[in-house]
Structure 1
Amino acid sequence: MTAPAVHQAASLLLCYPGEGWERTRDLVAAALAPLPGEAAAALRRFCAAAARSSPLELGTRYVATFDRTRRRTLHMTYYIDGDTRRRGMSLARIKALYRAHGWRPEEAELPDFLPLMLEFAARCPDPGTALLHRHRAGLDLLGAALASYGSAYADVVLAVTETLGEPSAEQRRLAQAIAEEGPPAESVGPAPFTMAHDPAAQGART
């Protein structure tokens, strides 16, 4: 049961730290305390780091980390599909997967929002974990970008990838291709992904 617990904890920790955040963080840390393994340890490290900041400070860093650049987006289909019509089909497939397993999350976020995908994996481990595997390249790119940015959120993504095991050779090739060329685009695309530090974001580190 370690993987579903890690997925549920990561889902909560990757949401915006709004009202009730400190209580959520403390409940997650307490639930993780007896769990073995690097995934749970990485989440405990994040909780400890987050406890050193006020919710207001953490909220500001959350926005700077995830909402101001697509290099660190939590919307996972973007890494593979970019701004193409194909992304719409990918979103529809994820939504259909949720519904096929009896889950209808609130529609305030797109279905590829990583906290939603992780909550689904916690609720429905087999199809949810398969969904995470399909987006392994994006998870690895996100984790590398967060680590390069100096964000404590890198530990949360590390915990997720630890539950998935080593990436396949194909997943590694896909991640490298996206890192070098950027996600696909039908018009003018974004700058290529890079795992180097993003100098434009120096002012806000987690």
Structure 2
Amino acid sequence: MSALSEGELRTAHLVASVLLGYPDDTLYGGRQVLAESVAALPDGEVRTRLAAFLSHVEATSRGELAAHYVATFDLKRRCCLYLTYYGYGDTRKRGAALLRFKHAFAAAGFELTDGELPDHLAVVCELLGRGAVREGRRLLMENRAGLELLRTALEAEDSPYAGVVAAVLATLPPAGPREKEAALRLAASGPPAEEVGLEPYAVMEASR
């Protein structure tokens, strides 16, 4: 299991939530605070991976990173940041899976507003980082096979974002035989492909 304390878990996920979002003013304006937060984490894979990405941000122009983000996450279906996509694709069953996320946000005291689906990895990391550790970890662990597939896809693309996803995975307990089997099965079959519309979901807004 992760050796991070609850406070360190929250810090790591808050940083990851920013790094996994579109590289805008939140990232570029907060680079110093993000770097200081990561430096305060104990030595280990989480700190190393997050620090490496922040170093990449410093060495890469804003336009180049934004172009890479769009080309990777918006144009490559296998590099999808929406966790329920891996298990359900664009099928009707995905709607029920999204409701589980929505209910977890509500149980943690957060409301959803228009603009984002609740299964976006950055949004789930933010949920955990803002205090809903139990709910956030449960959602990540339930969708671990998809996370593993995302990390593998990003590594195949030689994307620096693979390190951020690896850092998120490193905060979870080690995968058991059942989880490893699920990841292999998902990698072999891929998501279902029934095209349907989805009810609009949205990014959370703290109701505390």
Please give the TM-score of this superposition, normalised by the length of structure 2. Answer: 0.86
Which residue of the partner structure matches residue 37 of structure 2?
31
Distance 1:135 1:166 in 2: 14
- Structure 1 residue aligned with 2:85, among 56, 62, 78? 78
Contact 1:7 1:121 (C-alpha < 8 Å) held by counterparts: yes
Contact 1:121 1:128 (C-alpha < 8 Å) held by counterparts: yes
Which residue of the partner structure matches residue 127 of structure 2?
120
Letter in 2 for 1:13: L
Helix, strand or coil at the partner of 2:171: helix
- Structure 1 residue aligned with 2:167, among 156, 159, 171? 159
Residue 187 (structure 2) pairs with residue 176 (structure 1): no
Contact 1:21 1:55 (C-alpha < 8 Å) held by counterparts: no
Which residue of the partner structure matches residue 191 of structure 1?
none
Runs of 4+ in 1 over 3 A off after TM superposition: none
Distance 1:102 1:72 in 2: 30
Greater Cα offset, 13-22 or 54-63: 13-22
Segments of structure 2 that go 5 or more residues without pairing to the other structure are 1-6, 196-208
Which residue of the partner structure matches residue 55 of structure 2?
48
Contact 1:76 1:113 (C-alpha < 8 Å) held by counterparts: yes
Does 1 or 2 have the higher relative contact order (CA < 8 Å, sep 6+)?
A: 2
Which residue of the partner structure matches residue 59 of structure 1?
66
**Per-residue CA distance 1:87-136 (angstroms, 9 max, x = gap):** 00111121111012210143311011111111111121011111110011
Residue 10 (structure 2) pairs with residue 4 (structure 1): yes
Contact 1:76 1:114 (C-alpha < 8 Å) held by counterparts: yes
Helix, strand or coil at the partner of 1:72: coil
Residue 157 (structure 2) pairs with residue 130 (structure 1): no
Distance 2:18 2:166 in 1: 15
**Per-residue CA distance 1:136-169 (angstroms, 9 max, x = gap):** 1111111111111101111100110000032121
**Per-residue CA distance 1:175-202 (angstroms, 9 max, x = gap):** 1111111112347xxxxxxxxxxxxxxx
Q: CA deviation at 1:20?
A: 4.4
Sort the Cα spacing of 1:16 and 1:82 in 2 relative to 1 into closer, same or farther, 3 A: same
Please give the TM-score of this superposition, normalised by the length of structure 1. Answer: 0.86
Distance 2:155 2:173 in 1: 19
Residue 22 (structure 2) pairs with residue 16 (structure 1): yes
Contact 1:17 1:58 (C-alpha < 8 Å) held by counterparts: yes
Residue 104 (structure 2) pairs with residue 97 (structure 1): yes
